[in-house]
Amino acid sequence: MKKNIVPKRILITGGAGFLGSHLCERLLEQGHEVLCVDNYFTGRRRNVAHLLDDPRFELMRHDVTFPLYVEVDEIYNLACPASPIHYQHDPVQTTKTSVHGAINMLGLAKRTGAKILQASTSEVYGDPEIHPQREEYWGNVNPIGPRACYDEGKRCAETLFFDYHRQHRLRIKVARIFNTYGPRMQPDDGRVVSNFILQALRGEPITLHGDGSQSRSFCYVDDLIDGLIRLMESGSDVTGPINLGNPVEFTVRELAEQVIEMTGSSSPLVNHPRPDDDPSQRRPDISRASDLLGWTPSVQLAHGLRRTIDYFSALIGEGASP
């Protein structure tokens, strides 16, 4: 039996990005009005171009480090470059996006009475000393390293969310997102899934940082979007933080070998030095998401990789630029 949905006006910052564009689609399918806000630093207009004719969809170019004055019922705050290549390009702006962006969106939520969700990250755990990572773990983050602009910016954003909740009784939700992949990833984002697929499709050497023994857990985008919406729709007593990710763990080398097999590529594996503060392992404990949201990911890696490979194959065939 289909659940009755009360239409809402929903703001998505970073809405033209990888996750944001999928979230826009899903919320429109549910019958909501969607205001998509993006400054196109890493987001792309083409990610939402197919939505522009929908009368319930609105696209606005705006940088969340500046205040935004709109009327909305809910806010998904996804705005921030999320890959090391992008967030290290302008680390000061990355920190501003996380911190000033959170302050501006929280101020908007306070004025309008909107419920607000923060897209936080597994990077708040740093290079973890416990495995898998539970929400109670405070993390092992280098506050002055090259990744700190993102890690500490997101940690500060979480602080702001909970302080606004305690001080102003805002209705908040905080999701800690683990590695997510799928169509509309940026080709130049430097993440292992997009890197490996593009290198394999082009017949280029596949670059492993270190010996490839570091582990990651890969969640397909459809599952992640389902988790975000379930968290937003959860009861007022569920604030988070809640881990959202796939608990099935793979080494980076195993991922590379699977991509080579699925693309039929002859690309060799080559080893490069590991970047500073690169986490050696990453896997979420999703017990809280399962218990409170009834959420567990369902898309197997092979199925999600096939859809992602097909997307990048089409992108190469179109000659689309990153």
pLDDT in the model for residue 80: 92
Dig out the tokens for 100 from the structure: 């000033």
Of 76, 87, 125, 150, the active-site residue reads 150
Residue 206: which pLDDT band, with cuts at 50, 70 and 90?
very high
pTM: 0.93
The answer to whether position 3 is within a domain reads no
- Are residues 173 and 116 in contact, defined by beta-carbon separation less than 8 angstroms? yes
Point out which residues pair with 173 in neighbouring strands.
Answer: 117
Question: Taken in order 306, 308, 311, 317, is the CA torsion positive or negative?
Answer: negative
Distances (CA, A) of 167 to 110, 154, 170: 11, 20, 8
The answer to whether position 4 is within a domain reads no
- What's the rounded Cα separation, in Å, for the pair 27 and 128? 34
The answer to whether position 218 is within a domain reads yes
87 given a catalytic annotation: no
Domain that holds residue 64: 9-318
pLDDT digits (tens, 9 = 90+) for 232-269: 999 999 999 999 999 999 999 999 999 999 999 999 99
The answer to whether position 1 is within a domain reads no
Closest CA to 176 of 141, 247, 99, 124: 124
Q: Please state the domain count of the chain.
A: 1
Distances (CA, A) of 269 to 181, 187, 202, 216, 218: 21, 19, 14, 18, 20
Domain holding 141: CATH number? 3.40.50.720
